[in-house]
Amino acid sequence: MKIDKVMDQVTHMVLALFIVVWGFIAVIIVWGSWRFTRQHGFLSPILSSRWNPLTGHFGLASFILGSLTVTVLAVVIVSPWSLGLSVLGARILQGSWQRYFVRFLTVFVSLPSVLYGWWGLTVIVPGIRRLTGSSGYGVLSASLVVALMILPTFSILSLKAIRQVPESYVEGSVGLGASEDQTLWHIILPTARPRLAQAALIAIARALGETIAVQMVIGGQFGRPGLLHPAATLTTQLLTDLPLLPPGTAGHFVLDYMAFLLMLLMTVIVGLEMRMGE
Amino acid sequence: MISRRQFVIGVLGVPLFGAMISLGQALRLEDRPRLLSIMGASSLMGYVKASLPQWERQHDFVRVALSPGGSYAGLKAVASGHIDLALSDIEPPPGYIAVPLRRFRLGRIAIVIVAYPGVGVKGLQRDQVRALFAGTIANWREVGGQNLSVIPVSRPLSSGARQVLSSRLMKGTEFSSQAIIQLSNGAVAKTVRGSPGAVGYVEAVMPLSQILVMDLGQYHYCPANPHSWPLYAEPSIYVREDAQPLAYNLAEYLSHGSQKSRFGIYSGPGEGGAVDENR
Amino acid sequence: MSQGDLSPKTLKPVSQGRLAHHVLAVIGMGAILALLSVVIPLAIEGLPRLSMEFLFKSPQELGRGGIGPEIFNTLVMVGLSQGISLPLAIMVAIYRVEYAHAPHLAQWFDRALHVVLSLPTVVIGLIVVDYAVIRWHWPVSVETGILAFSLINWPYALSLAIEAFQHIPDEWREASRALGASRWQTITRLILPVIWPDIIELTGLATARLMGETAALIYTAGINVSGRFAFSAPGETVAVHLWYIRTEGLMPNADQEAAATGLVLLLLVIAVLWVSQKFAEWVKNANL
């Protein structure tokens, strides 16, 4: 078959193009961070938290800490809500309601993050201020905004995970006299656990990469540790200091290094995700 | 497994990719609308955006692209020739730019100290403002106001307004590390308007409603007559000496624009509008 | 009793043991309310500003403008970048699912793809600025925006397409090959017709995601629009316009303007999702 051979080569070429393009991007990031680490060392920027690119202090510790705190907190906050939504969608709603439910959540998955940030400014920040007496801008507000942002993604994925549990398991359990609750806790959720963990990791990756919505509510600089104080994450600092360190200035490569750290964190998360899938 | 032939074809894909890019480059050089690009201080974007349509009508074959990025990025990019015009609130720091640039002054933009309306203070002394932004005064009571804790709001290091404030007002005192950083004028104004106890600074390019504009010493900021106000940025347009005439024309047009006053830009004393100046 | 009545869901053997279900349902309802609280204030504030004039006129810096060119730019840029990246993504997906023989390599490929997928878009924006704009002297324009969009969309569309291809059980492929069909015939005659609806629906998802993209576009496509459309002219999209009004907007009623713009964006996203679903259903039924 002639067409077969041609298409065989075409798909190969497109694959090669894909690998070349993304390899190129990875090489740019790695090369930039190599140039940075050659000057400032690999570990010392991670361990220091003194950040002033104009005077040559590139301490990234507080941003890494900020990224991790916001992400972990957001996932902890969102988990029960997401469980509620997914059980609602997969076990309680019936028939075509399930389909409408997923469509409803899909709209929110695609909602631009600016809108979530806006919601944070009008609802979360004043709320936190009233409750705690702080300024309202800080890690906690950012985690709440991110939590709402990843909620639809997380719920859809966990909903799919719950649906993948074979109906025969459920029937077996109920047939043996277990109540619906017992079936949920002891059969459905344990069976779906690997996929639920995968869903959580995808949600974590999304939370870690979020920029604009976090920037709007987190306050922008690291002063003192605490959930109610302003902080910054790797992504928000990347956005904030992009104008300060345009290509060609001495500190520009720190941006590549920050991108590299983000990539490294993502790799760890994806590694975990793959292990869950096995 | 991938056969040898497939491997060769895959590797050949790389130059193909390069060829596509160079083809794109070649197409670009052909007869297309001329393009000028502007980059720089975000506080001037409103004025430039409002003035561009008229200029584009006069020069039918030219398009002007605008991207934000801040004063530093604009200056760096104009010096390396990536863009044609840079908007900057600040003068380039010594040694930052290696090529000769021509400067077109736009005038002045007042920078005002703003606070949440309920702080109970109408005016501040310079050293009080310094202490508020540095974080050494933590409660408005200490300057005679309500019992509200102070929330300083500032801009990132790349901001021209922050540079002006640092050099004219802070005089070497660092901004508090507790300050909230907002990326733009508008965001600072919104934050200050909404947070009890907040104090910040904005370039007065917009009507400042529902927000308290502080008197500074004996000075009172009046939008209709800002000439005596002591804190201001001096925004300018920078163009390379060897730039195309069209870029000069646009810079000239923008520095004499009729809409300047609507965006808070006023001419300083003794300046009859724009002054060209070689650097 | 008919067969259907015996399903455990209708039987409800223990009616007491559903407390946790009720609690989770209440939590889920709360989550739905929280999600609605994002869009409903937007609709309330933005709806009065929405008019034909707003949808078609050019923007004006001091208010009473429209967002016509922005909507057009968004549609052109998203459409073209889908046109570029979707076929490429499908090709790679075909290779990944139908051709790849080395499971280890495939696993590494998946892993790398996931990392690429989770890369913040601001990083891609950074790279496009560094290379396309600064090294290759592409203008800040619609075409650079399309490049950034295509780069963002390619891995995303790829992962969705791979998922769609993997829905087809291997037995089908084996059966098709056993009947003497070549690999390409299997793909075009068997697999693609079955998964077209899926691909259409997933394309809708990817398109909706692109429409809301801001961070990568601010420095590549610019924040203004020119009087007439051109590929080398600056191309602000609706999402970027929203970002701009929220941060630097000077019009007296900036909040309302922003709400209306956000509402238009929301409606565009919903429209894209709805159309892609209807179209997918139509294709599916046409196949039968």
Alpha helix positions (H), C59-166: 68-94, 103-118, 121-128, 142-166
Backbone angles phi, psi at C234, to 5 degrees: -60, 145
- Tens of pLDDT, residues C62-88: 767 778 888 888 988 998 899 889 989
Minimal-distance CA residue of chain C relative to B70: C219
pLDDT the model gives residue B276:
42
Percent of chain A with pLDDT over 90: 27
**Is C238 part of a structural domain of the chain?**
yes
- CB-nearest to C21 from A171, A174, A180 is A180
pLDDT at residue B26 greater than cutoff 80: no
CB contact under 8 A, B65 and C233: yes
pLDDT the model gives residue C1:
42
pLDDT at residue C60 greater than cutoff 80: no
pLDDT the model gives residue B31:
52
Note down pLDDT in tens along chain A; length 278 residues.
678 888 888 888 888 899 999 999 999 899 989 998 888 888 888 888 888 887 778 888 899 999 999 999 999 999 999 999 999 988 888 888 888 899 899 889 888 888 898 889 888 988 998 888 788 888 999 999 999 999 999 999 999 999 989 989 988 888 888 888 888 888 899 999 988 998 999 899 889 988 888 988 888 887 777 788 888 999 888 888 887 887 777 788 888 899 999 999 999 998 888 887 76
pLDDT average, residue stretch C203-231: 83
Strand order of the β-sheet with B62-68 is B62-68, B34-40, B85-88, B236-240, B101-105, B276-278
Listed by number, the residues of chain A in 36-65 with a beta carbon closer than 8 Å to a beta carbon of chain C are none
pLDDT average, residue stretch C144-172: 90
pLDDT the model gives residue B275:
43
**Which of the other chains make 3 or more beta carbon contacts under 8 angstroms with chain B?**
A, C
- Which span out of A50-54, A72-76, B53-57, C136-140 was modeled with the highest average pLDDT? A72-76
pLDDT the model gives residue B1:
44
**Is C173 part of a structural domain of the chain?**
yes
- Tens of pLDDT, residues B153-186: 998 888 888 888 888 888 878 888 888 888 888 8
CB contact under 8 A, C212 and A255: no
CB contact under 8 A, C92 and A15: yes
pLDDT the model gives residue C137:
78
Q: How many domains does chain C have?
A: 1
Please indicate whether residue B184 or residue C253 has the higher confidence score (pLDDT): B184
- Compute the half-sphere exposure of residue A209: CA atoms within 13 Å on the CB side of its CA: 26
Using a CB–CB cutoff of 8 Å, tell me whether A182 touches chain C.
yes
- CB-nearest to B178 from A13, A230, A243 is A230
Q: What is the mean pLDDT of chain B?
A: 80
Please give the angle made by the CA atoms of C87, C146 and B159, to the nearest 5 degrees.
145
Count how many residues are written for chain B.
279
pLDDT at residue B5 greater than cutoff 70: no
Using a CB–CB cutoff of 8 Å, tell me whether B151 touches chain A.
yes
pLDDT the model gives residue B12:
55
Backbone angles phi, psi at C85, to 5 degrees: -85, -25
pLDDT at residue B279 greater than cutoff 50: no
Return the C-alpha torsion angle C140, C146, C149, C154, nearest 10: -140
Q: Which residues of B touch A225 (CB under 8 A)?
A: none
- Tens of pLDDT, residues B221-271: 887 778 888 888 888 899 988 888 888 888 888 888 888 888 888 887 655
CB contact under 8 A, A122 and C41: yes
Listed by number, the residues of chain A in 14-43 with a beta carbon closer than 8 Å to a beta carbon of chain B are 15-17, 20-21
pLDDT average, residue stretch B62-67: 83
- Tens of pLDDT, residues C5-35: 555 555 554 456 788 888 999 999 999 999 9
**Rg (alpha carbons) of chain C, rounded to whole number:** 24
Topology given in CATH for the domain delimited by B32-107+234-278: D-Maltodextrin-Binding Protein; domain 2 (3.40.190)
Q: Which residues of B touch A216 (CB under 8 A)?
A: 187
Q: What ipTM score was computed for the predicted complex, to two decimals?
A: 0.85
Using a CB–CB cutoff of 8 Å, tell me whether A12 touches chain C.
yes
Q: Which CATH superfamily is domain B109-228 in?
A: Periplasmic binding protein-like II (3.40.190.10)
Residues B36/B86, Cβ–Cβ less than 8 Å: no
**Is C9 part of a structural domain of the chain?**
no
**Is C30 part of a structural domain of the chain?**
no
Q: Which of C211, C118, C223 is nearest to A114 (CA)?
A: C211
pLDDT the model gives residue C9:
55
- Compute the half-sphere exposure of residue B164: CA atoms within 13 Å on the CB side of its CA: 23
Backbone angles phi, psi at B229, to 5 degrees: -60, 130
Q: What is the mean pLDDT of chain C?
A: 83
Q: Which residues of B touch A229 (CB under 8 A)?
A: 178
pLDDT the model gives residue A132:
85
Contacts of B77 (CB under 8 A, 6+ apart): A246, B39, B69, B83, B86, C134
- pLDDT band of residue C148 (cuts 50, 70, 90) is very high
> Checking phi first, is residue A52 left (phi over 0); if not, alpha (psi -120 to 50) or beta?
beta
Residues B263/B47, Cβ–Cβ less than 8 Å: yes
In chain B, CATH 3.40.190.10 sits at: 32-107+234-278, 109-228
pLDDT the model gives residue B160:
84
Token reading at A84: 């509620």
What CATH number did the domain enclosing C237 receive? Answer: 1.10.3720.10
Residue of B7, B119, B183, B199 to mutate for A, most A C-beta atoms under 10 A: B183
pLDDT the model gives residue B18:
63
The H or E element spanning position B127 is helix B126-134
Please indicate whether residue B270 or residue C112 has the higher confidence score (pLDDT): C112
**Is C33 part of a structural domain of the chain?**
no
Domain that holds residue C139: 48-287
CB contact under 8 A, B263 and C250: yes
* Percent of chain A as helix, strand, coil, to the nearest 5: 80, 0, 20
Listed by number, the residues of chain C in 97-126 with a beta carbon closer than 8 Å to a beta carbon of chain B are 101-102
